[in-house]
Structure 1
């Protein structure tokens, strides 16, 4: 039978844990009849809690008196928590189905609940909210949520929660036009993974895909190539479920030997949870797609080799990959076709990218219309080329183009200017160049005098 002192200690522990979960300081709960020092004594189990104080604390912490006393919820509260969890799964399904506004609205409603959901449910809600904000093109808000989640205790490298946060932070920095921050975040996370695992794992692959893009966008092509060269052999081996599970078990043994029981348990649970073949196939496809893009951006592009990787990537992404993943492959295959002077094929790939991603205000649409305009111009189909470029101008001028401000936007205006100039539309070209300079933060620069680069070579 539990003694009175044991009960007092357990109540104090629950008070402390709930307060911390709610992000509150002791001073936030102190007030009339209860000083900070008294609350500290309650939490340490050195003073019993009176019924009046217990009711007040339960109200402040958004729980029941019964939970503080026993650690168990009433039947009504258990049913309420199940209902809140159901609403969370509905929001997560909406996120998976691409219904991002509905997912965000569901998350906002859950976070406004009083008393709040259980701590683990709140964590999942905030992660889903960050994902929805990212998909809706609001990376700065998503980053704020992700940074807050990252400050909370978690099992660390090797856990799904840690990896999801690290990859999402890297992606959101990129979306916010901060490739240097994306590189810093990604390299730190990769170093942390290397301390846990003896060799590449699917976690390295998931983080590596995001980091390679960050290196690429930051202009660090040698770093991107080095990482891709490290991960590609592992991805191309077609690692079996048994081998993947063995890697997690071995990392778990090392963590246990080092005294990190929580991480060891997490890694063993990862081994038990395998397989996740669809996601692994998607990551392998994305890695090959990223490698193909790198080959196109080398000082001496290798379009034939790039095509081999991109075709393989498109095949692997046909099932598990989303429309945006496959559209990215089509955009790079269009680049390959333009470099090889296969103009009809280039136009076809650009059209397929638009079919996959839609003609809405997205970065994919901007790039696809640019490629289509270039292909039609080189084919001598000037009217169709002008129509495609006018669509680019419309998307970029609307301010809702899916491109982050800075380098990406400046490059899009520059490409548009080059194509207008090639068509003899010098006024339109100069307007595009000026807007590109403004996007790059060089609005006050001297008038552009350099000739445009060749459209395709």
Structure 2
């Protein structure tokens, strides 16, 4: 039988071993917080190294292979703009918690300003949050960066939005099926389109949709937001068959939207599948989605956009169906009037104008084109140029030659101003070509030739014609 001294000795050894393991765990946690915080600050190990601390020593600290002395801990906390307590325990001070809550509140207010159409105020608020030092926590920064990109896109600055969106999309903390991932995927695809890069939009959109399909099968309403943008990308890239195929696949979901309960069930099932595959982080994301209901207005917007996109496809097929297209476009217009953005509504009005012109309803077509212009404004935009072109064609068909010529001259001015500020692109090349076709219809061959030359220049195929000649086409 063991003596009491022997038992006490074994107990002491176990306690000592447990103490050592606890100390090792604490050292590893401190090292992890050091590494994560340094990376969040955008610093290299060499940026923190210096007197009394080499890069190799800092590497050992971050890997948890060396304990941190109090002196080094205080120095690192000062360098990383955090408290010693945070590095030791991971707990922020009450003051820091209050500051982070204020940053989250400011980000939320920026999102509300964005929803209310106060784009400049939203952009400024997001920039202010992102400029804070020490920075906001990663989740708040991500929300501010997403809102900032949304504001830039809606301010017609898609190229500025793209860089930040690409970086966010690579964040491994997000997964297909999460609300943030989906919002980023849709925004990236849409910004490629707005930047005049339909091929890039197709490439990215197809890859993103495949990732979403792998998580959520069969499709849910979450596919609609990405789907409608990808349909437009296929359409703009000239792949009408691919656009129609995707629209046919998704349209049933627009006709019979699933109830919130059915959508929650779909996410729960996807979460269980991810868990069975051992993808715990993704399973958690999907389970959280099952708890959250989508914003009703956003879902209605996606349904409206899908119907508008389908109607537009019916106008561009090998055998256009303007009468059938108008049925879908009218339904889309009703939904988008309630919850769509101005550009959404303008695109629908523009498609309605095209359908009316095909049906010989020229006055109605002109009215739809004018409503599209009211929605996009009179400054340069891709939609605005096409609206002016549609209006010019409608006026010509109505026999209003003077009004038609004025509309085409406006297109020349807008495209000329855009060429002075922006690089060439396929969309502007197509607009110049369409303008040339319309000038030919007016019996103005010189003006048509100038437009064709500008279209070639925008496509990078030749030198541009003198702008003076383009702005003063020959009279009929």
Task: Report deviation, 1:402.
Answer: 11
Mapped partners of 2:43, 2:110: distance in 1: 27
State whether structure 2 residue 439 is matched by structure 1 residue 420.
Answer: yes
- Aligned pairs (5 A) from 1:169-318: 169-318=188-337
Alignment correspondent of 2:140: 121
Alignment correspondent of 2:391: 372
1:389-448 residue CA offsets vs partner (Å, 9 max, x unmatched): 2222221121189998422111211222222232233332222221111111122599xx
Q: Which has the higher contact order (CA 8 A, sep 6+)?
A: 1
Alignment correspondent of 1:97: 116
2:423–2:458 CA contact under 8 A, matched in 1: no
Mapped partners of 2:394, 2:104: distance in 1: 51
Task: Report deviation, 1:346.
Answer: 0.3
Larger displacement relative to structure 2 (162-171 or 413-422): 413-422
State whether structure 2 residue 417 is matched by structure 1 residue 398.
Answer: yes
1:231-287 residue CA offsets vs partner (Å, 9 max, x unmatched): 101221222112111111111111111111211111111111114322111111111
1:125-146 residue CA offsets vs partner (Å, 9 max, x unmatched): 2222222222233323322111
Task: Report deviation, 1:304.
Answer: 1.0
2:342–2:376 CA contact under 8 A, matched in 1: yes
* Equivalent of residue 178 in structure 2, options 143, 159, 163: 159
Mapped partners of 2:291, 2:42: distance in 1: 33
SS at match of 1:113: coil
Mapped partners of 2:291, 2:81: distance in 1: 35
State whether structure 2 residue 96 is matched by structure 1 residue 80.
Answer: no
Larger displacement relative to structure 2 (89-98 or 176-185): 89-98
Larger displacement relative to structure 2 (99-108 or 225-234): 99-108
Mapped partners of 1:30, 1:127: distance in 2: 33
2:202–2:233 CA contact under 8 A, matched in 1: yes
Structure 1 pair 424/69, CA: closer, same or farther in 2 (3 Å)? same
State whether structure 2 residue 338 is matched by structure 1 residue 319.
Answer: yes
Mapped partners of 1:159, 1:298: distance in 2: 35
Mapped partners of 1:402, 1:212: distance in 2: 29
1:84–1:117 CA contact under 8 A, matched in 2: yes
2:74–2:84 CA contact under 8 A, matched in 1: yes
1:205–1:283 CA contact under 8 A, matched in 2: yes
SS at match of 2:406: helix
TM-score, normalised to structure 1's length?
Answer: 0.91
**Structure 2: runs of 5+ lacking an equivalent:** 1-17, 466-476
2:113–2:121 CA contact under 8 A, matched in 1: yes
1:119-168 residue CA offsets vs partner (Å, 9 max, x unmatched): 21112222222222222333233221112112222241111122122212
* Equivalent of residue 330 in structure 1, options 333, 349, 352: 349
Larger displacement relative to structure 2 (404-413 or 219-228): 404-413
SS at match of 1:319: helix
Alignment correspondent of 2:169: 150
Structure 1 pair 293/139, CA: closer, same or farther in 2 (3 Å)? same
The structure with more radius of gyration: 2
- Aligned pairs (5 A) from 1:129-148: 129-148=148-167
Mapped partners of 1:104, 1:260: distance in 2: 36
CA-based RMSD of the aligned residues comes to 2.3
Mapped partners of 2:132, 2:295: distance in 1: 34
TM-score, normalised to structure 2's length?
Answer: 0.88
**Structure 1: runs of 5+ lacking an equivalent:** 447-457
Mapped partners of 2:384, 2:463: distance in 1: 29
State whether structure 2 residue 469 is matched by structure 1 residue 435.
Answer: no
Mapped partners of 2:194, 2:443: distance in 1: 34
Task: Report deviation, 1:49.
Answer: 1.7
Aligned residues: 446
Mapped partners of 1:290, 1:401: distance in 2: 31
* Equivalent of residue 59 in structure 2, options 32, 35, 40: 40
Alignment correspondent of 1:53: 72
Structure 1 pair 50/77, CA: closer, same or farther in 2 (3 Å)? same
SS at match of 1:359: coil
